[in-house]
Structure 1
C-alpha cells in the first residue's frame, strides 16, 4: 500500500516537474515572442504625414499610422501642440518627435501597445506651458487625478481598418478579406478561393461598372451590355442572381437591378462557391461583397473630372476628415454625377449619386458608423440583336454596332435606390468583440417606364418583330437586413480557436410591381425609323407582390491544431418564409412556402512553410424555389441545393507583395426544375424537380506589387459547365451559355520613380475569351466566337508645391483606352438567349484630378 502511494506520489511529482518545465519553456518562448514583437513595433519604418495640431489628436494619428494601440490620459496632453512629423521614421523615432518637450514619455507594453505617461524626470508639468496659473492648476489637477482618469485608447478595429484602407489605395495586393469568414483572417488561411479588387485597380482602370471591374477575376463573365441598367454576371459557370450581392457584409438584394457604381467602393471581395454557411440562401457560384469608403481621421479631399467619347462627362468628389478637435467624430462624403451616351443609339447612361457617412468613436472600444447612399439612373435599357448580322452572316450585311432595338426617344427606364443603415462594433477585451449592423434599402422604378425588345427575325433578315413593356405605376421594393456577430479568441484543449456565432434577420418585400405586355412596331435593322410611336396596349396589366422573410443562425470555429495546420468548420440553420401573388390583375390568393435548411462547411489549411499554404474544403448551399412554381402533385418544391469540393494552394511572398491562388473545384447544382415528362402536364406549365447542372475547372489569380510603382493583376480560368440531368434529352450535356472554356486576363501598370520621367506612368492589358455557347435552348446556333481585347492607359502624377493657388497637394492626369484596336466582337448573349450584345468599340476616357 505504502509502495503504491509512493509510486503515485512519484508519478504526480514527475507530472508536476514536466508541467513546470513546460510552463517555464512556454513563458520563455512567450517572453521571447513579446520581446520580438516589441522590437518590431519600435523599429518598423512607416511613412508619416502628421500635421502640427493639438497633441492628443497627433497621438491618435500616430496610432492609426503605426498600427499600434496607444493608451494615454487626454488631460496629460492638454495645452500642448505637436510639431509636424512628415517623412519616413521608425515608430519610436516618430513618437519621440511628437513628445519632444512635452513633459511626457512612453513605454511599450505587450508588443503592439504603447502607454504615454508623465515624465517625472523632466521637471515639466504637462498642460502647464502657455497656460499661466490656470494652466498650472489644471496640469497639477491632471497629474493628481491621472490614476483615476479613464485612459483614451484608439479602438483596435479602427486602427486596423484605417491601415487596410490606406493599403487598398496603394497596392493591388490584399492580405485579408472579411467576407470569407466574417473574421479578420489572412487570405492564405482561408480554405476557399477568395479574390479582392482594391481601390487602386478601380482607379487605374477607371471602371465605373461592377462587371468591368470584376472582369479581372477568374471565372466571372458578364451576360449584359455595359450600357445596361442591370448587373448580370456568371460566377464559376452559374448565374449570379440578387442573392449574390452584398454590401459591407449585409445582403444588397436590389444591387443587381440598379447596376452598382464604384464611386464610393474601396474594395470588392469575391468568395467563390456556395457561401450559405455565412450568408444563407444564395447562388452556387459565390458572393460579391462591396466594401464602401468609411470616414478617416485626417482631412483629405479629392475631386476629378472625366471626359470621353460618346459624349461622356463625369465628375466625382471624395471628402473626409474629423468633425471635432479630438477626432472622435469623422465624416466621409462621396458624390458622383454622370451625363453620358453610349455606343448604342439612345442608350444613355446618366447618373447622380451621393453617399454620406459619419463614424463616432464612442469610447476606447466602441465604434458606430451611420451611412446612407442615394443612386439615381436615367436610362434607355438596350436589348440584344439577332445572331444574323452580329456574328453570323446576314444577306443584308453586318448589323451596325450602334443599332438599338428599343423604341428610341419613346423608351425610358429610370430607377432609383436608397440605402441607410448603421454598423456598431464593440470590443469587450482583446479577445472578444461584437458587431451589430442594419440596413434599409428601397428601389423604385419610375412611373410609365417603357421599353422594347426583339423576338424574331423575318426571313428577309432585316425586319425584327418586337414586343413592348410598360410599367404604368411606380414600382417599389424595400428590404431590411440585420446581422449580429460575436467573435472570440480562446484556447481550448491546447489549441487556439477563433469562434464566430451570429444571427441574421432579413425581409425583402415587393410592394408593387405592375407591367403590361403587347406587340411593338417592327423594326428595320438596316433602315430604322425611331419616330414610330408605341402601339396601344390592349392586354390587361399584370401585377406582382411578394414578401420573403429569413431568419438564420450560424456558428463557426477556426482551430489552430498545429502552427502549420488549421481547421475551419461551420454550420448554419435558416428558416425562409415566402409569399407571392403573381397573377393577372392580382386577384388570386397569395401562394406561400416555408423552407428550412442546414448548410455546413468544412475546410483545412496546411502551411508547410510560412508563405505557402495548401487547402481543401467542402461546402453546401441552398436556394428556395418560388411558391408560384407549379408542381403536378400540389406539393411545394424543395430548395435547390449546391455542393462544392475544392482543393488549392495559396502563395504570398516577397514580403506579401505577391499573392497567388490556384484552385480546382467541382460544383454541382441539384433539385432544378425541369418540364414534366408528361406532355399534357408540361403544356400546362407543370415542372418536376429532377434537373442537375455541374461546373468544374481550374482557376489562377495573381496580384503583385513587384517593385515600387509596378503592379500586376492577372487571372486564368478553365471552366467546364454543362447540364447533367434534364427531362429534355436535347439539353443533357449542353454547355451552359456564356461560359467560355478558357478566359485569361492580364493588366499591369508602371510608374517611374525617379529621373526626368518621375510621375509618369503607363499601363495596359489583354482580356481574352475562347468561344462560348450562345444558348442551351437553340442547338442550331453555333457558339459565339472568342476574342482578345487590348486596353491601355497613360498617367501623370505631380506633387504640387505648398502654397500653390489651388491649395492642392497632388495633380493626377490619366488617359484610359478600352479596345485599343477597335475590334468588332460579340461580348455576350442576353442572359443565355438568342439576343446578342456587341462589345464596346474603341473608348477613350481622359481624367484630371486634384487631391487636397
Structure 2
C-alpha cells in the first residue's frame, strides 16, 4: 500500500514540475448567471488531454499548452455546454471568463450523475425510480449526502454519515441502523446493486454520494428493509485530468491518507480512468478497539459514442480490527442505571482477539440510447466477503457463586473462533420508454433482475461446549444448578469454575488467553444458498401538473433447507408487489406527492441455514407504507427542501429471544407500526453559505405481540425525535479570502433498550475550520466540542449487558492538494 501511495505522489510531483515549463496558459473564472462561483466545472481543450476543473472560487488554469488553435470547452452537470475558439502562442497567458446557464432538459440517465460539485444538493437518484427524472418528481422521500459534505465533515465510514439523514440513527457502531424505527442495513446496495453486509463498515473514500429511499422499495428491487434502503454511489472517471491527495492526523493516534486520480486515457476522451486509494490507521478511546483499513478502487469508463457508456469498477477493501461489543456494565442491584458503573473505555475482550475482513467487488454497467425515446440499462456486481476472527466476548450473563447468586462485577465469557465466506451476484436490466399520447406523456419502464447469495462449504466455527466445568474437569455443562453442586468443579470458595475464566469488570485484564485450555467444539458453518428474481413494470404518467406513478413486480424467492445434504429441500416464496404514487406541481418549484408501497423481506439465508442457532423456521416480513409530502427548490435551485408524513406497518418481526443458553436465539413478534414526520434541507442560502439540516419525529410502537404487556409500548432503540444541522460559511473576498468555518450538531432523544434502563438523549456539537490557498486546502475538524458523554445504541453483547458509548472530544487536521 505504501509503495502505491509513494508512486502516486511521485507521479503528481513530476506532473507539477512539467507544468511549470508551460508553453502557454489559459485561465479564468466560471460563474452562474448571478455571478456565484461554480466549483468542479470541467474546462478543457477539445480533442486534447489538457484541462482543469474549477476550484471553490470558480477559477481554472490550464498550463503547458503548445502553440496553436483550439476549442475551449466548458461543461458541468446541470449546465449548458459553452465553447470558444482560441489561439495561443508560446509563453502567452490568456484569460476567459464564462457565465453558465442551467439546463432545462433531462439529465443523462447514468446512475453516477446527479450532484453538482461544490454543492450539498443532489438532483437525481436512479435508485428511486430507475430513470433520470428529477428527485422533485419522485413520489417518495429520498434523502442523501453528497461527497462535498462527506469531505467537509471528514467522514471516513458510513457510520459517520448517517447523522446527516433524517430518520436514521445508529443501532450499533458496527453499521446497524434504525430507519424510521425499523432495523436496516441487513442488505446494502452499491450503485443500485444488492450485496450482503459485512461485520464492520468499510471506508467510503470512493463514494460520490450516499442516498436513502425511505420505506420499502420492493416494487423495483424485490425484498428490502421496511424503513428504507441505503445506496452507495461510487465516483466515476472524469474527462479532464485531475489529481488529488490528502493526509490527516488527529486524536487517538489516527493517521489517514487518500488519493484520487482521474482523467482521459486517450486524446479522443472515449476511455477514462479513475483510481481512489485510502489508508487508515486509527486508534480509539475504547480499549483495544483501533483498526487498520486499506481501500483500492480503480474504475474505467468507455464512451464509444454519445449514446453508449460502459463503466467498470473494482473495489478492494481490507479491515484489520477487533469487534466492539460495547461497554459492559456492572449488574445493577439498586435499580439505578448501570451506564456509569464502568469506564466508557472498558471492553470485555482480550488482546489476542482479532477480526479480519476482506471484500472484493467487481461492478459493470452498460447504458445505450437506441433513440431519444428508448434507453437500455444493464448492470451487475460480483461480491466476495471473507472473515477470519478470534473473539472473546461476554456471554450475556454474569458469574454466579455456589448459591447461584449473581456476581455483579464478573462476567461470563464466550469464545468464537472461525472463518466464513459469502459470495453475491446481482444483475439487472431494464428499458425506459418515453411515449407521448396527445397531452399525456408516459415514462414507462420494464425490467428483470436476479440476485444470489451463497455461503459455500469450508466455513467453520469454534465455540465453548458449556459454561461450567464438570466435576471431573473433562467437559462442561450449560448452566449451574445450586441444588446439585456435586456435578461441578468448584473453587476454594465453593463457586462453580467457569469453562472460560470470568472477566473482571473492576480490575480488567486484557492479557492474551490460551484458547486450547477450554472445552470447545468445532462445527462446520452451514452452507446456504438463496436466489431471487423478479420482473417488474412501471409507468409515470404526466398530465399537465399531475403525475401518476404505477408499478407492479412479481417476485420469486428461493432458498434451500439443508443445502447440499441428502434431505435438501427447495422452498419458494412468491409475492406480487404494487407501488402507487402521485405528484402535483403546485408551482414550478413546489411539488406535493402521495404514495403507497408494499415491502417483502424473506429471512436471510444465514438465519434459515442455522436453525439450531437462530431457531425457526420464520415467516417472511411483510410491510406497507402510506406517505404524503412536499419537495421544493429555492434560491435559484441552490437549496432543496423536502418534508413528509408517513405510516409504516411491519409484520413477523424477528427479535432476540434473550435465551440464557443460546444468546443468538431469535423469536418472531407479530406487528410493529411507526408513524412520523421528517424534513431535509440541503444546499446554499447564499453563494458562500451552505447548509445541511434534518429533523425527524417518529413514534414506533409494538402493536401485536404474544406478550400482551408489550402492546402499545415503544420499540427498542427507536428514539422519538432526532435531527442535525451543518452550516458552512466561506469568506470569498478580502484578506480572509479562502477561509471558512462550519458548525454542526446532531441530537437524539431517549432510547428504550428493553432492559431496566434507557439510553439518555444527547446533543453533540461539531465544528470545522478551512483555509484554501489556491489548490492547497487546510482543515481542522473538532468533533464533540463540548465533550458530551453519551451512548449511541446497543452493544452487540446483548440487551441490558452493554451499550456503545459515543466518542469524547476529538480532532482531525487535514492537508489536501489538488492539481
TM-score range, shorter chain: 0.7 to 0.9
Q: Which of residues 91, 94, 97 in structure 1 aligns to 2:85? A: 97
- Distance, in Å, in 1 between the alignment partners of 2:456 and 2:282 is 31
The structure 2 residue matched to 1:624, chosen from 602, 624, 629, is: 602
Rounded Cα–Cα distance in structure 1 between residues aligned with 2:783 and 2:318? 26
CA contact (8 A) 1:520 1:534 kept: no
Q: 2:416, 2:776 → 1: CA distance? A: 47
CA gap of 1:332–1:580, structure 2 versus 1, over 3 A, is: farther
1:220 aligns with 2:199: no
Contact 1:381 1:451 in 2 (8 A): no
**In 2, Cα distance between the equivalents of 1:467 and 1:636?**
26
**CA offsets, 1:103-145, max 9 Å, x none?**
xxxxxxxx9899xxxxxxxxxxxxxxxxxxxxxxxxxxxxxxx
- TM-superposed CA distance for 1:466, in Å, is 1.7
| 1:829 to 1:303, Cα distance in 2 relative to 1, 3 A | same
Listed as ranges, the gaps of 5+ residues in structure 2 are 1-31, 59-66, 90-101, 400-405, 465-498
Give the match for residue 265 of structure 1.
207
Matches within 5 A, 1:745-764: 745-764=724-743
Q: Which runs of structure 2 are paired with 1:186-205 in the superposition (5 Å)?
A: 186-205=134-153
Instruction: Report the CA distance shift for 1:743/1:51 in structure 2 as closer, same or farther (over 3 A).
Output: closer
Of the three residues 759, 774, 777, the one matched with 1:784 is 759
Please report how far the alpha carbon of residue 398 of structure 1 lies from its aligned counterpart in structure 2 after TM superposition: 3.7
Instruction: State yes or no: 1:231 paired with 2:210.
Output: no
1:690 Cα deviation after fit = 6.8
5 Å-filtered alignment, 1:39-188, equals: 53=45, 55=47, 81-82=69-70, 94-98=82-86, 157=108, 164-165=114-115, 167=116, 169-188=117-136
Distance across 1 between alignment mates of 2:560 and 2:80: 62
The question of 1:720 aligning with 2:699 is answered yes
The equivalent residue for 2:11 is: none
In the aligned structure 2, how far is the partner of 1:215 from the partner of 1:363?
A: 41
1:273–1:286 Cα contact (<8 Å) kept: yes
State the superposition RMSD in angstroms: 3.7
Residue correspondence of structure 1 range 521-532 to structure 2 within 5 A: 521-531=501-511
Aligned counterpart for 2:628 among listed residues 642, 647, 662: 647
Q: Once structures 1 and 2 are overlaid, which stretch shifts more, 365-374 or 536-545?
A: 536-545
Q: Say if 1:517 and 1:537, in contact at 8 Å, map to a contact too.
A: no
What corresponds to 2:318 in structure 1? 376
Alignment partners' CA distance in 2, 1:673 and 1:52:
55
The 3 A distance-change label for structure 1 pair 561 and 693 is same
Match of 2:501, SS?
A: strand
Whether the 8 Å contact between 1:51 and 1:83 is mirrored in structure 2 is no
Structural mapping, 1:4-15, within 5 Å: none
Q: Which has the higher Rg, Structure 1 or Structure 2?
A: 1
> CA separation in 1, counterparts of 2:772 and 2:813?
14
Task: Report the Cα offset of residue 438 of structure 1.
Answer: 1.0
Describe the SS at the equivalent of 1:730.
Answer: helix
Q: Which position in structure 2 is the counterpart of 1:69? A: none
| TM-aligned CA distance change 1:636 to 1:92, over 3 Å | closer
Residue 426 of structure 1 deviates from its aligned partner by: 0.4
1:39-97 superposed Cα distances (whole Å, 9 cap, x missing partner): x99x99978977674657789999xxx9xxxxxxxxxxxx9741667899x99995243
Match of 1:277, SS state, is: helix
Q: In the aligned structure 1, how far is the partner of 2:195 from the partner of 2:593?
A: 30
1:509–1:206 distance in 2 versus 1, CA, 3 Å: same
Give the TM-score normalised by the residue count of structure 2. 0.80
Q: Distance in 2 between matches of 1:95 and 1:821?
A: 51
CA 1:520–1:751 in 2, change beyond 3 Å: closer, same or farther?
farther
For structure 1, the 5+ residue unaligned runs are: 1-39, 67-78, 102-110, 115-154, 800-809
Q: Are 2:804 and 1:837 aligned?
A: yes
| 2:527 aligned residue | 545
CA distance in 2, matches of 1:433, 1:395: 59
Conserved? CA contact 2:561–2:609, under 8 Å: yes
SS in 2 for 1:452: strand
Which residue of the other structure, out of 763, 774, 778, is the alignment partner of 1:813? 778
- Measure the CA separation in 2 of the matches of 1:577 and 1:434: 28
For 2:431 and 2:339, locate their aligned partners in 1 and report how far apart those are by CA, in whole Å. Answer: 65
TM-score, normalization by structure 1: 0.77
For residues 424 and 526 of structure 2, the distance between their equivalents in structure 1, rounded to whole angstroms, comes to 16
Contact 1:721–1:739 (CA under 8 A) maintained in structure 2: yes
SS of equivalent to 2:305:
coil
Query: Partner of 1:470 in structure 2?
Result: 417
Residues 761-815 of structure 1, C-alpha deviations (whole Å, 9 max, x = no match): 111111111111012xx3xx1221111111111111111xxxxxxxxxx001111
Matched-pair contact (CA < 8 Å) for 1:48–1:86: no
* Aligned-residue offset at 1:742: 0.9
Tell me, yes or no, if the aligned pair for 2:411 and 2:503 is still in contact at 8 Å: yes
The separation in 1 between residues aligned to 2:566 and 2:707, in whole angstroms, is: 31
Query: By how many angstroms is 1:185 displaced?
Result: 1.4
How far 1:833 moved relative to its partner? 2.1
Contact 1:189 1:613 (C-alpha < 8 Å) held by counterparts: yes
1:242 aligns with 2:186: yes
Distance 1:466 1:675 in 2: 19
**1:614 corresponding residue in structure 2:** 592
Q: What are the superposed Cα offsets for residues 244-285 of structure 1, whole Å, 9 maximum, x if unpaired?
A: x1111111223x434132110011110000110011111101
Distance 2:278 2:79 in 1: 38
2:435 is matched with 490
Q: Which structure ranks higher in relative contact order (CA pairs < 8 Å, sequence separation ≥ 6)? A: 2
- Residue pair 2:536, 2:552 contacting (<8 A) in 1 also: yes
**Within 2, Cα distance between the matches of 1:823 and 1:751?**
28
C-alpha distance in structure 2 between counterparts of 1:538 and 1:348, whole Å: 30
Q: Secondary structure at the match of 1:540?
A: strand
d(CA) in 2 for partners of 1:686 and 1:163? 41
Q: Which has the higher strand share?
A: 2
1:456 to partner: Cα distance: 2.4
Partner residue, 2:580: 602
1:828 to 772, 793, 807: 793
**Aligned residue pair count:** 708
Q: Distance in 2 between matches of 1:436 and 1:528?
A: 55
